[in-house]
Structure 1
Amino acid sequence: MSLDTPKFSDLDALYDVENAKVATEMYEDPELFKEEMDRIFKKTWVWVAHESEFPDKGSFKLSQVGLDPVIVVRDRKGKIHCMVNRCRHRAATVCEVKKGKTSSFQCPYHGWGYGLDGSLRAVPYPEQYGDDFDKSQHGLLKLRTESHEGMVFATFNEDAEPLVDFLGPEVCRYMTLFMKQGGGFPVKVLGEHQFQVPMNWKVQLENTTDAYHFPIVHKSFMQTLDEKTEDLFDFMEKNEGWVEDLGNGHSILMMMPSRADLDERLDDPIEPRFEWLAEEIRKEGYSEEQVKKIVLAVGGPGFNMNLFPNVSFSLSFFRVLTPIAVDKTDIRHMALGMDGGPAIANQTRLRLHEHFQGPMGFGSPDDAEVWERVQRGTRGGEELPILVNRGIVDEKPGVTGPRGHVSSETGMRAAYKMWKHMMEMEA
């Protein structure tokens, strides 16, 4: 079925821009899901990796672009490639190791061998293909690949705008600020945990720049904090922050404006909860300025940012969504640290990550429960719309788009506006 059929020809019925209402079919219809994979995930830039995950020549990791399994790899010259993980002969995957280092990829079925750049290098018993068989035409299917601030994106669309144009200047600026949590060192992925939620991918897309849910869903998390830290996270009551549409479906939730740029906090006293950490870092011979920079980095910046369609920056980790089916989505939470930084600082960051994001944490399990309940709830009252209209009443112009109250659903409207734009484009 195509969007040209009557069922999907009226995109206004699926997302009512003026009234900010989302139709239930958006979460439920498998045919619509297929169209999204073609019109969105096959057409725009999709996040696939962080450069620290495959730092050396010959190192690689497996990833996804929509439903397509891909390999992200550095060749012998250090150039990054992204290729579909499918042998050009009979479609078997050429790699099943999630991350590693290699000199080539070989299909386990009939032995076709591929270079790190995806080119077909060897075919066993090639004579049966004839003299006109051209190996250069049978390499792994390659995607356009570009990076910014260590974040690697890929697209099937050869006509897509350059990555930095898709991100836009404000997103690029906030990416630079986010990476300051390296504390003077490069940001590095320390580890991750992955889980699957029975929900449509857009349910999670709505979450990262949604502050409205935080004091309710994460009440148990707030109760585990000391008084000073609880006050830091009480951004709903303080009403100092905002949500802004950054263009192309991207959005930012500025929860703690005073922590937007960590370098501007270097003259502040060290927070009491991290005084012990500062002392441990001093023992390793770091200067006082370095100590402050590292300790501030451990706490992370004060904002979340959502990049359409599949990756989020959330305080001190990356959240990556991978659509699996209309009602099934994989989530990866990637803990971030300092490449070359003090071991005690990275250990502390991991403990903070586990406190909120880990499977036994006080954040992720509560989020996942609510996401699943949203998907279950859509089975009842299919004619009822899903509302994303909070905060329209007092939105003001921001730098790139509307800016609303810290609890506004501006970020959701930004994502759905881009969703509609891409679904309207010719397939």
Structure 2
Amino acid sequence: MPEPFVIDNREDSLFQVHREVFTSPEIFERERELIFGPAWLYAGHESELPRRNDFRTRDVGGRPVIFTRDRHGEVRVLLNTCLHRGASLCRHPAGNAKIFTCFYHGWAYRNSGELVNVPSVEDYAGAPTDVYRTLPAPRVESYRGFYFVNFSGDAPDLRTWLGTSAYLLDLAVDQSEDGIEILPGTHSYTLQANWKLLVENSVDGYHAKSVHHTYFEMMMELGQTPPMLGDSDTNGVPPAGLGTEFGNGHATLMYPGNGLPLANEAVTHNLAALRSRAVERFGESYATAVFDLARNTIFFPNFVLIDLNFGMILRTITPLGPDRTQVSSWQLTPRGLDEESLRYRIDNALTFWGPAGLATPDDVEALEQAQRGFGARREMPWSDISKGMGKARPAANDELQMRAWWRQWNAVMTGEPLPREVEEFIPFDVPVQQPQGA
């Protein structure tokens, strides 16, 4: 394996990542152990479990889990594997159940994890319910309705891990006085590329116009100013906005939201009403951050929140192999939207972020092309992520946010901490105001 993985040369403002980290099976296995074992991983949102005994099944960090609200109303994450022989306890994507029964041999568990029934128990010398008792449970903590799990016993608490990046979750939640909710439905797809490429891409403002030119050209032909493009844009990349880092590998890029593309008067009016109520609750500066700025955020290692006025999505990025990645995404929306505004957001999300939309296929093609290019890694071993390095405040189309993530990756994988590149600051000089009920 290459040493070092990362070159962080502050004197020459040069940042490089060795391309072997995108192809090596050994590095992939080390990531599963060192990154996806100790990290806080997004499991789900409280709005997905509105009633007691509701559940959702999904993979979290390569582990099959049941995200459920038990009969007492407590949110839990259960490993979706039977203590007996390992088969899945629940094969349904969602539902409502007090008991999960393994279809293989019929062992049954409460939705709080206790083993409660073993068929033909009289044939066992010792009672399995006494030997196994309950499913091992990962740590579960939440912040403002976002639930995370941790499979390590010595990780810091979630709030400490998030640090000041929790501000980005606040900005999403506070778009309505009633909070936010996940809309029904999941987009799930795979790509033939390393998972870290999609992490980079999710907070990459440099590629937007070149890769997504069809969308930008369509918007501009319709007289719209697309997100990320300002009036001073002359070369097809977004000069407006900036990137920043929040510690622990969490990072974001922020840029002008530029209103609501293709929205009618009613949708525009309804968004203005939400903003007006936010001003009353929090003041103008916080409402400006909530509604007038767009954000692409990565929470280390693999949880993405993309927050634009015309829609919000959550994305988890799960490695399946060195060159294969599973992506799951959900649409978020402020609670209490009128039907027309809700339909507008759904249409925009499908048109832009959907697996067959104007953005996602472009991104998949770019990342798979990069993965193919790594076949020449012996002759061309390094990828460059230096854009904007040395600036006091890197722009949205610079690469600070990717470097911040890579420094955390490098620290976890090698034990070598690398210092921050810039002093922490709140983007656009918007002061952090702790929202009511945070």
Summarize deviations over 1:56-93 as a string: whole Å, max 9, x none: 11111112232211111111121111121110110101
Shift of 1:214: 0.7
Q: Is 1:309 aligned with 2:305?
A: no
> Which residue is 1:114 aligned to?
109
Summarize deviations over 1:166-185 as a string: whole Å, max 9, x none: 110x211121112233x333
> Which residue is 1:187 aligned to?
180
Summarize deviations over 1:383-421 as a string: whole Å, max 9, x none: 420111111132x2xxxxxx4122111111111111111
Q: Is 1:253 aligned with 2:253?
A: yes
3-state SS of 1:247 partner: coil
Task: Give the Cα–Cα distance (whole angstroms) in 2 for the partners of residues 43 and 422 of structure 1.
Answer: 9
Residue pair 2:256, 2:292 contacting (<8 A) in 1 also: no
Aligned residues: 391
> Which residue is 1:17 aligned to?
8
Relative to 1, partners in 2 of residues 1:386 and 1:57: Cα closer, same or farther, differing over 3 Å? same
Residue pair 1:253, 1:406 contacting (<8 A) in 2 also: yes
Summarize deviations over 1:117-159 as a string: whole Å, max 9, x none: 1111111122333246553634222110111122111011121
- Letter paired with 1:200: N
Of stretches 84-93 and 134-143 in structure 1, the one that deviates more from structure 2 is 134-143
Percent identity of equivalent pairs: 29
Shift of 1:257: 7.5
> Which residue is 1:3 aligned to?
none
Q: Is 1:54 aligned with 2:46?
A: no
> Which residue is 1:210 aligned to?
204
Residue pair 1:185, 1:341 contacting (<8 A) in 2 also: no
- Letter paired with 1:317: I
> Which residue is 2:397 aligned to?
407
Task: Give the Cα–Cα distance (whole angstroms) in 2 for the partners of residues 356 and 271 of structure 1.
Answer: 12
Residue pair 2:182, 2:330 contacting (<8 A) in 1 also: yes
Task: Give the Cα–Cα distance (whole angstroms) in 2 for the partners of residues 232 and 311 of structure 1.
Answer: 22
> Which residue is 1:399 aligned to?
none
Residue pair 2:39, 2:155 contacting (<8 A) in 1 also: yes
- Letter paired with 2:33: D
Residue pair 1:36, 1:423 contacting (<8 A) in 2 also: yes
- Give 1:266-277 correspondences, 5 Å limit: 273-277=263-267
Shift of 1:46: 0.7
Gaps of 5+ in 2: 279-287, 417-438
Residue pair 1:241, 1:257 contacting (<8 A) in 2 also: no
- Give 1:74-89 correspondences, 5 Å limit: 74-89=69-84
Relative to 1, partners in 2 of residues 1:133 and 1:318: Cα closer, same or farther, differing over 3 Å? closer
> Which residue is 1:334 aligned to?
330
- Of 123, 142, 146, the residue aligned with 2:141 is 146
Task: Give the Cα–Cα distance (whole angstroms) in 1 for the partners of residues 289 and 18 of structure 2.
Answer: 41
- Letter paired with 1:60: F
Q: Is 1:346 aligned with 2:336?
A: no
Task: Give the Cα–Cα distance (whole angstroms) in 2 for the partners of residues 139 and 354 of structure 1.
Answer: 41
Summarize deviations over 1:332-358 as a string: whole Å, max 9, x none: 231222334312211111011112012
Task: Give the Cα–Cα distance (whole angstroms) in 1 for the partners of residues 115 and 187 of structure 2.
Answer: 34
Task: Give the Cα–Cα distance (whole angstroms) in 1 for the partners of residues 257 and 346 of structure 2.
Answer: 24
> Which residue is 2:371 aligned to?
375
Task: Give the Cα–Cα distance (whole angstroms) in 2 for the partners of residues 298 and 405 of structure 1.
Answer: 19
Residue pair 1:186, 1:339 contacting (<8 A) in 2 also: yes
Summarize deviations over 1:291-344 as a string: whole Å, max 9, x none: 8669x9998851111111111111211122111111111112312223343122
> Which residue is 1:125 aligned to?
120
> Which residue is 2:387 aligned to?
390
Shift of 1:240: 3.4
> Which residue is 1:135 aligned to?
130
- Give 1:33-52 correspondences, 5 Å limit: 33-52=28-47
3-state SS of 2:138 partner: strand
Residue pair 2:65, 2:80 contacting (<8 A) in 1 also: yes
3-state SS of 1:273 partner: coil
- Letter paired with 1:378: F
Task: Give the Cα–Cα distance (whole angstroms) in 2 for the partners of residues 104 and 307 of structure 1.
Answer: 33
Relative to 1, partners in 2 of residues 1:234 and 1:320: Cα closer, same or farther, differing over 3 Å? same
Residue pair 2:228, 2:240 contacting (<8 A) in 1 also: no
Summarize deviations over 1:184-205 as a string: whole Å, max 9, x none: 3331111331111001110011
3-state SS of 1:78 partner: coil
Gaps of 5+ in 1: 1-6, 260-269, 283-287, 397-402
Alignment RMSD (CA, Å) = 2.8
* More helix as a share of residues: 1
Q: Is 1:417 aligned with 2:407?
A: yes
Task: Give the Cα–Cα distance (whole angstroms) in 2 for the partners of residues 345 and 123 of structure 1.
Answer: 50
Q: Give me the TM-score of the superposition, normalised by structure 1.
A: 0.84
